[in-house]
């Protein structure tokens, strides 16, 4: 959508170094942008690309205005500014209100007139669907689910049961929310399933990635607070609580009854043991597994990067001998004390 630099500067409070009447219609990277595109510089290592860009305009920090060869929008945080301008130039598609002819909405469901129910979607009788909600094609909204205003289930999303989604959420294809948690008790003849009678409560402005799963609680609810960002292929087990604005990258796994604070960040393939508590503002490194409570903000890492196979096997052989080595060290220390 074509928009003038002047309008963008006014809307977002940017300083404009250039022609307010110039229009841009899309985002592109610095190398490939042409005169109808806007780009941004957030990484100082790309300054050489900035000086050679053919973009119509670039979002830059104040320190980079002088080296920008084209019109510039000046912002203290160019990456955040890029996110905001992108919502203007690349808006979400409009969805017509109404229920597709192939959708099934059971009698007793409450559906706002402005909602969009896509092809082959199913909405159970006891559900409440708010204003301007989008339930994309192939999605299933099961018993006792509530969907807040302007939330979008993109396609093939499953809300199994007892799930409440707040306003302005985005749930990507293949996500499953409210499935049976992993609750089992060992009996004399094998495992016996424990009914999971809790639900899932998701706040406002949450994003749930493709093929991610959030299990309903065993007794109390699983809770995802406002502003949380979950990437693709994430597992959230029953009775987890995730604080506001926490973000998790792909393949993170959170075990049952873990309590996570606000503004935490989990890198890819990280995870936790169950029944632990993590304070606000903790950062978990890639592939790290948290096995006990974290009480102080900071970066927590722990993993072994890949290396040539021969070197790894040599180290693995040492790992197998670590107990014997520790015992020898302990005996030597005792000898020194005698």
Encoded tokens for 196: 């999971």
Q: Which residues fall within 8 angstroms of residue 307, CB to CB, at 6 or more apart?
A: none
Residues forming beta bridges with residue 277, ordered by sequence position: 259
Q: How far apart are CA 231 and CA 223, in angstroms?
A: 17
For 24, the token pair is 């841009």
Which tokens in the block code for residue 6? 């002047």
* HSE-CB for 118 with a 13 A CA cutoff: 17
Structure tokens at 66: 């002088």
Cα–Cα distance, 240 to 200 (Å, whole number): 10
Q: Which of 33, 37, 54, 40 lies closest to 1 in space, CA to CA?
A: 37
Q: Which has the closest alpha carbon to 261: 237, 293, 287?
A: 293
Q: Which of 172, 238, 245, 275 is catalytic?
A: 238
Q: Is 238 a catalytic residue?
A: yes
DSSP 84: H
Residue from 55, 73, 66, 97 nearest 11 by CA: 73
Three-class SS state of 281: coil
Half-sphere exposure of residue 50, counting CA atoms within 13 Å on the CB side? 21
DSSP 253-276: EE-TT-EE-TT-EE-TT-EE-SS-
110-111, strands of its sheet edge to edge? 110-111, 128-129, 146-147, 163-165, 200-202, 222-224, 241-242, 259-260, 277-278
CB 131 within 8 A of CB 167: no
Instruction: Catalogue the active-site residues.
Output: 238
């Amino acid at each position: 959508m074509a928009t003038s630099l002047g309008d963008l500067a006014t809307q977002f409070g940017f300083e404009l170094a250039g022609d307010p009447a110039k229009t841009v219609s899309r985002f592109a990277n610095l190398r490939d942008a042409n005169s109808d595109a806007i780009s941004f510089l957030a990484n100082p290592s790309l300054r050489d690309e900035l000086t050679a860009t053919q973009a119509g305009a670039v979002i830059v920090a104040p320190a980079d205005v002088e080296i920008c060869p084209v019109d510039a929008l000046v912002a203290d945080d160019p990456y955040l500014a890029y996110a905001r301008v992108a919502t203007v130039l690349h808006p979400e598609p409009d969805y017509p209100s109404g229920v597709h002819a192939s959708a099934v909405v059971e009698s007793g469901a409450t559906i706002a007139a402005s909602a969009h129910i896509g092809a082959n979607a199913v909405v159970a009788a006891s559900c409440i669907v708010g204003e301007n909600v989008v339930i994309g094609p192939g999605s299933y909204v099961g018993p006792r689910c509530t969907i807040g205003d302007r939330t979008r289930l993109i396609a093939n999303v499953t809300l199994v049961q007892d799930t409440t989604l707040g306003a302005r959420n985005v749930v990507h294809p293949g996500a499953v929310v409210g499935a049976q948690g992993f609750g089992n008790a060992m009996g004399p003849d094998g495992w016996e399933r424990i009914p999971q009678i809790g639900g899932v409560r998701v706040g406002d402005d949450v994003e749930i990635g493709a093929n991610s799963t959030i299990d309903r609680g065993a007794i109390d609810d699983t809770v995802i607070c406002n502003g949380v960002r979950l990437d693709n292929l994430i597992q959230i087990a029953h009775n987890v609580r995730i604080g506001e604005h926490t973000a998790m990258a792909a393949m993170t796994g959170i075990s049952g009854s873990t309590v996570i604070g606000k503004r935490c960040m989990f890198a890819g393939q990280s995870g936790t043991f169950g029944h632990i508590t993590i304070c606000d503002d903790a950062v978990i490194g890639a592939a790290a597994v948290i096995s006990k409570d974290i009480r102080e903000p900071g970066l927590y890492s722990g993993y072994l990067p890949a290396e040539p196979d021969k070197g790894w096997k040599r180290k693995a052989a040492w790992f197998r001998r670590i107990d014997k080595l520790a015992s020898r060290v302990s005996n030597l220390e005792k000898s020194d004390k005698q």
